[in-house]
Amino acid sequence: MEVRLSISLTTLLLPQDCFLCAAAAGNDLLCQACSNELPRLPELRCPVCALPTPQGETCGACLKQAPHYDATLACFNYLFPVDRLVQALKYQHRLVVGDFFANAMLATSEVPLRADLLMALPLSAQRLRQRGFNQALEIARPLAKRLGLPLQVDGYSRSIDTTPQTILPWKERHKNIQGAFECALDLTGKTVIVVDDVMTTGATLNEFARTLKKHGAAHVTNWVAARALKH
- Interval 122-150: pLDDT, tens: 999 999 999 999 999 999 999 999 999 99
The predicted-structure confidence for 191-202, as pLDDT tens digits, reads as follows: 999 999 999 999
Same domain, 64 and 159: yes
Q: Strand locations in 27-166, DSSP E?
A: 71-77, 117-120, 151-152, 156-158
Q: Nearest Cα to 123, choosing from 87, 162, 95? A: 162
CA distance 137 to 197: 9
> At 135, which CATH number?
3.40.50
Which carries the bigger pLDDT value, residue 169 or residue 90?
A: 90
- CA distances in angstroms from 166 to 28, 170, 181, 214, listed in the order given: 30, 9, 18, 26
The per-residue pLDDT for 88 is: 96
Same domain, 213 and 115: yes
The per-residue pLDDT for 76 is: 97
CA distance 49 to 205: 10
Same domain, 25 and 48: no
Q: Which domain holds residue 33?
A: 1-37
pLDDT band at 108 (very low <50, low <70, confident <90, very high): confident
The per-residue pLDDT for 161 is: 65
What's the DSSP call for residue 221?
E
- CA distances in angstroms from 50 to 44, 131, 226, listed in the order given: 9, 28, 10
Which carries the bigger pLDDT value, residue 134 or residue 109?
A: 134
CA distance 207 to 158: 11
Same domain, 73 and 134: yes
Same domain, 26 and 67: no
Same domain, 89 and 3: no
Same domain, 126 and 218: yes
pLDDT band at 168 (very low <50, low <70, confident <90, very high): low
Q: Of the ranges 38-42, 136-140, 163-167, 211-215, which one carries the lowest mean pLDDT score?
A: 163-167
Q: Are 181 and 158 in contact (CB under 8 A)?
A: yes
Tell me the pLDDT of the chain averaged across its residues.
Answer: 89
The yes-or-no verdict on residue 9 having pLDDT over 50 is: no
Q: Of the ranges 44-53, 71-80, 167-176, 218-227, which one carries the lowest mean pLDDT score?
A: 167-176
The per-residue pLDDT for 83 is: 96
Same domain, 182 and 96: yes
Same domain, 77 and 31: no
What mean pLDDT is predicted for residues 16-22? Answer: 92
pLDDT band at 162 (very low <50, low <70, confident <90, very high): low
Same domain, 94 and 48: yes
Instruction: Report the sign of the C-alpha dihedral through residues 75, 136, 193, 29, in that order.
Output: negative
The per-residue pLDDT for 172 is: 57
Domain count, the chain: 2
Same domain, 108 and 139: yes
What mean pLDDT is predicted for residues 160-189? Answer: 74
Same domain, 101 and 208: yes
- CA distances in angstroms from 67 to 29, 49, 147, 203, 222, listed in the order given: 35, 8, 26, 9, 11
The predicted-structure confidence for 74-100, as pLDDT tens digits, reads as follows: 999 999 999 999 999 999 999 999 999
End-to-end CA distance of the chain: 50
DSSP per position, 4-35: HHHHHHHHHHS-EE-TTT-SEEETSSS-HHHH
The per-residue pLDDT for 163 is: 55
What's the DSSP call for residue 57?
P
